[in-house]
Amino acid sequence: MSCELISGKEISKKVHSKTSAQVAELGEKHSLTPSLAVVLIGEDPASKVYVNAKVKKCQELGIESKKIILDKAATQAEVLALIKELNADKSINGILVQSPPPSQINEEEIIETILPIKDVDCFHAQNVGKMLLGDTDGFFPCTPYGIMTLLKESGVDASGKHAVILGRSNIVGKPMMSLLMQKQDGANATVTVCHSRTPNIAQFAKQADILIAAIGKPEFVTADMVKDGAVVIDVGINRVDDATRKNGYRLVGDVAFEEVSKVASKITPVPGGVGPMTIAMLLQNTVKACKLQAGIQ
């Protein structure tokens, strides 16, 4: 079977083009420029890379960005004070606090302090509730939203399909379930969610027309777990030791790509699959936040 690669790099370019056009239109018609504040607590190397990538892409698309780096010893009170300041700043449309924060920070309280209309990550309970109800006035979480876009742009109609999600996190698994089962174009799937307490995960995975792996285990999904012709979306990104590489490691997903690509009809690579879509949808949400705050349809 010939397997088609679903390229997040290529599809994200389409999303960025749309975002750039919307930014230009907001400037021409309304004299508005969308803006995003990105908060980094400490300077964890991986988090720093993610933040810089977001800021760089903002610049490329004409979105204003404000990068704020707090000391790794910052207190909960200091972070909350900053969030409240950004909430009150009308020049800021979106607020993102890079995850994970240091151990002394209560991330849940930080998330719930961000104004829902500036919560471009869609972690606030109000936005999560709107998503569950199918209310499009809020935001969609960036990674699941990106996956829905990947499916649509690669010609995969989830309607009537059995989608199996491996992982039940608040960031991917649970919102992915919600988006796939909505009464909306591109959705209407029958969804099964598997997790660490699911016995015989392979049995469920093998039934999937659309298999979404977000379980955080390197190359967990093997060919014998995948139905012939299934669409496989790999959300995982894991470092594994590799003495042949200069840096001593390589990046792999939650799917054993080489063997699974022999039975799947479509598959996302790692890297270059879901990852680029997360930033693309974050910036789409930032533009939407700008419009909502200005009362623009």
Active-site residue, from 22, 98, 182, 284: 98
Active-site residue, from 57, 118, 121, 288: 121
CB 266 within 8 A of CB 286: no
Type of residue at 289: A
**CB proximity list for 177: less than 8 A, separation 6 or greater:** 165, 191, 193
121 included as an active-site residue: yes
71 included as an active-site residue: no
Report phi then psi at 251, rounded to 5.
-95, 135
How many Å apart are CA 88 and CA 252, to the nearest integer?
41
Active-site residue, from 22, 54, 130, 234: 54
228 included as an active-site residue: no
Q: What is the 3-state secondary structure (H, E, C) of the chain?
A: CCCEECCHHHHHHHHHHHHHHHHHHHHHHHCCCCEEEEEEECCCHHHHHHHHHHHHHHHHHCCEEEEEEECCCCCHHHHHHHHHHHHHCCCCCEEEECCCCCCCCCHHHHHHHCCHHHCCCCCCHHHHHHHHHCCCCCCCCHHHHHHHHHHHHCCCCCCCCEEEEECCCCCCHHHHHHHHHCCCCCCCCEEEEECCCCCCHHHHHCCCCEEEECCCCCCCECHHHCCCCCEEEECCCEEEECCCCCCCEEEECCECHHHHCCCCCEECCCCCCCHHHHHHHHHHHHHHHHHHHHCCC
Residues with active-site annotation: 54, 98, 121
